[in-house]
Amino acid sequence: MNSPTTELRTIGVIGAGRVGAAVARQALRAGYTVKIATAKPADEISMLVEIVIPGAVAVDAAEAAAADLVVVAVPLHKYRTLDPGLLTRKTVIDVMNYWAPTDGQVDDFENDPRTSSEIIQDFLAGARVVKSLNHIGYHELEDDGQAYGTAGRRALALAGDHDDAKATVADFLDRLGYDPVDAGPLPAGRGFQPGTEIFNGSHTIDQLENLLAEACALARI
């Protein structure tokens, strides 16, 4: 994987639920400047952000989208509330999951053979979408991170169609405390969707690489 072309300094998080908040807090611990937005105006969420994510800055979606890296953590069924124009040419981490038994069926995902992230990439046509951070619980994200080189460090998968975007996300995952593993192109995200062994457990880099190889072989990716 290539090295990131630019150093990350600012992280924009769109969505302030449990997952978005956990990503934001972990990013703050890693030393990033974090800007967080929801569908509401910034002044309406500023107090909530100050309490739940101290150190983050409440902003409007356009300012969050202007960050060096953008994390999209809105409820998946609300993905069409995103403005594709704001995310053109941006590297976007898709942390969302389609999990019908828990969230109910959504026609966009139920009746399409593609992975949810492929559908998101199609909607955000100008963005460089990378699937990751969807297969770790929000509470685990803040508890399991360890320094690079720590024995047994937890690994996280990523999948995407743009090598430079994946390199950027890999660097971010490492800074958060996890060994990044490139699963391949965006369809390879199927290997760590809900219901898979990867999604349901915690794995070291060797374990994760083996599981991804098995998943890709079965899917012929």
Written as tens digits, the pLDDT of the chain (221 aa) is: 434 446 899 999 999 999 999 999 999 999 999 999 999 999 999 999 999 999 999 999 999 999 999 999 999 999 999 999 999 999 999 999 998 887 788 999 998 999 999 999 999 999 999 999 999 999 999 999 999 999 999 999 999 999 999 999 999 999 999 999 999 999 999 999 999 999 999 999 999 999 999 987 776 65
3-state DSSP of the chain: CCCCCCCCCEEEEECCCHHHHHHHHHHHHCCCEEEEECCCCHHHHHHHHHHHCCCCEECCHHHHHCCCEEEECCCHHHHHHCCHHHHCCCEEEECCCCCHHHHCCCHHHHCCCCCHHHHHHHHCCCCEEEEECCCCCHHHHHHCCCCCCCCCCEEEEEEECCHHHHHHHHHHHHHHCCEEEEEECHHHHHHHCCCCHHHHCCCEHHHHHHHHHHHHHHHCC
pLDDT of residue 219: 66
Instruction: Say which CATH topology domain 10-219 has.
Output: Rossmann fold (3.40.50)
Q: Could you tell me the pTM of the whole model? A: 0.94
Listed by start position, the domains of the chain span: 10-219
